[in-house]
Amino acid sequence: MREAAVEILAFGVQADERPLLETALRERQLSGRCLEVFLNRDTAPLAAGHEAVTVSVNARLDAEVLRTLAAGGTRMIAQRATGFNNIALDVADELGMTVARVSAYSPYSVAEFAWALTMALNRHVPRAVRRTREFDFRLDGLMGRDMHGRTAGVVGTGRIGAAFARIAHGFGMRLLGWDLAPDPDCEQLGMEYVGLDRLLQDADVVSLHVPLVPDTHHLIGRAALDAMKDDALLINTSRGGLVDTEALVDQLRRGRFAGVGLDVYEAEAGVFFTDRSLDVVQDDVLARLMTFGNVLVTSHQAFWTHDAVSRIVDTTVTNLEDYVAGRLSANVLVGPGRPAPRPPAER
C-alpha cells in the first residue's frame, strides 16, 4: 500500500448516483469528489492533480483526452460501465495508464427494461396515456398482440440476453437465438440457435444484447432491417452503434415495424444524460426518430436500478482500491501486467 493518498475525481455523476458513490468512497477511506460534467476534451483539464478518475459510459476518452489526463498526472481510469468502446485503449496502454471496468452487474435491470419497452410499444401505452390525460378514452389505434405463442429473437445470449429469454419463456414464446456460442441454459428453455438472417425473418420481437465491437457495428443495417417482418418490434438496450439509425429512419418512413424501442443511440454521447430541452436540436436523425408514433427513445436508462447502480459503484470503488494497493484484477483492461485488451464478454 502506497503512503500518499490517491486523489480521485468522478466525472458525470448523476444525482441519484452521487450518494451511493460518495458513501462507498468514504467507507473505503478513499479521497474523492464528484462532478456532474462529463469527461471530454473541454473538461479533461479539470482532472489535473488527480491520479485516478472514474467516468460514465458517455465519457469521451479519445487520444487527445487521454493525453491531457496523462499530462495532468492521471494514471488510473475506472469506468462505471461494462462496455469500453468509448476509450482508446491502445493509447491508454502506450501512456502507461491503468483502465478498469465493471465486468458484470445485474443483468435483470437491462433485460426487464427491454421488456418494458417491448410491452409499452406492443400495447400502445404512451399513446393511451397521452389520450387519457386529455380525457379521451377511445380504444381506436390501441390494439396490441398477445406475446404468448409469438417468437422472440434474442441477438446475443450472454447474461442479459439470457435473462431476456427467460422472461420471454415466461410469456410462453418461441425462442430463437443468435450467438457465437449457444448458452446451455437458453437451450434448456427450448431456444433454437439459428443464423441471424433466419432470426430476423421469423421473430416478432428482435432484442439486441451484443457488445459493440468492429464486427457488430451496424449489425442491424439496411439488409437486416429489410429481412425483418413488417410488424416486428425492434428493441435495442445494448449499444447505439449496433443499429444503422439512418437506415432505420428510412424503414420507418415506409411505415414498417409495429414498434422500435431504443434506449441507446449511436450519437448519444454529449446528449444523453443531459438536459437539452431548451436547445435547438442539431441532430436531424434523432429529431426525425422522435416524430414517429411507433418509436420510443429513452435516455440509456435500462441499467438504472438501485440494485444495478449499487453493484456498479461497489465494483468501481473496488477497482480503485485495487489500483491503490497495486493489485491486478480481472476488471483491468490495460495496465501493468495486463495483455492487449479483448472484446467485452458481458452482454
Determine contact, residues 87/112, Cβ cutoff 8 Å.
Answer: no
Determine the Cα–Cα distance for residues 25 and 13; give it in Å rounded to an integer: 13
Phi, psi dihedrals of residue 116, rounded to the nearest 5°? -60, -45
Are 121 and 258 contacting, i.e. CB atoms less than 8 angstroms apart? yes
Domain 7-105+305-334, what fold? Rossmann fold (3.40.50)
Domain with CATH 3.40.50.720 in the chain: 7-105+305-334, 107-297
Q: Choose the catalytic residue: 60, 80, 159, 239.
A: 239
Provide the residue-wise pLDDT of the chain in tens; the chain has 347 residues. 454 589 999 999 999 999 999 999 999 999 999 999 999 999 999 999 999 999 998 899 999 999 999 999 999 999 999 889 899 999 999 999 999 999 989 999 999 999 999 999 999 999 999 999 999 999 999 999 999 999 999 999 999 999 999 999 999 999 999 999 999 999 999 999 999 999 999 999 999 999 999 999 999 999 999 999 999 999 999 999 999 999 999 999 999 999 999 999 999 988 999 999 999 989 999 999 999 999 999 999 999 999 999 999 999 999 999 999 999 899 999 988 665 555 444 44
- Tell me if residue 94 is catalytic: no
Q: Catalytic residue, from 159, 268, 288, 347: name it.
A: 268
- Backbone Cα Rg of the chain: 21
Strand partners, 313: none
Task: Quickly list H helices, the chain.
Answer: 18-27, 63-71, 89-94, 107-122, 125-133, 159-171, 184-188, 196-202, 222-227, 245-253, 284-289, 306-325
Question: What three-state secondary structure class fits 57?
Answer: coil
Here the cell at position 257 is 415495424
Q: What pLDDT does residue 345 have? A: 44
Q: State how far the Cα of 223 lies from the Cα of 225, in Å rounded to an integer.
A: 5
Select from 3.40.50.12280, 3.30.465.10, 3.30.70.20, 3.40.50.720 the CATH code of 107-297: 3.40.50.720
In this prediction the pTM is 0.91
pLDDT at 343: 47
Does residue 268 carry a catalytic annotation? Answer: yes
**Strand, coil or helix: 286:** helix
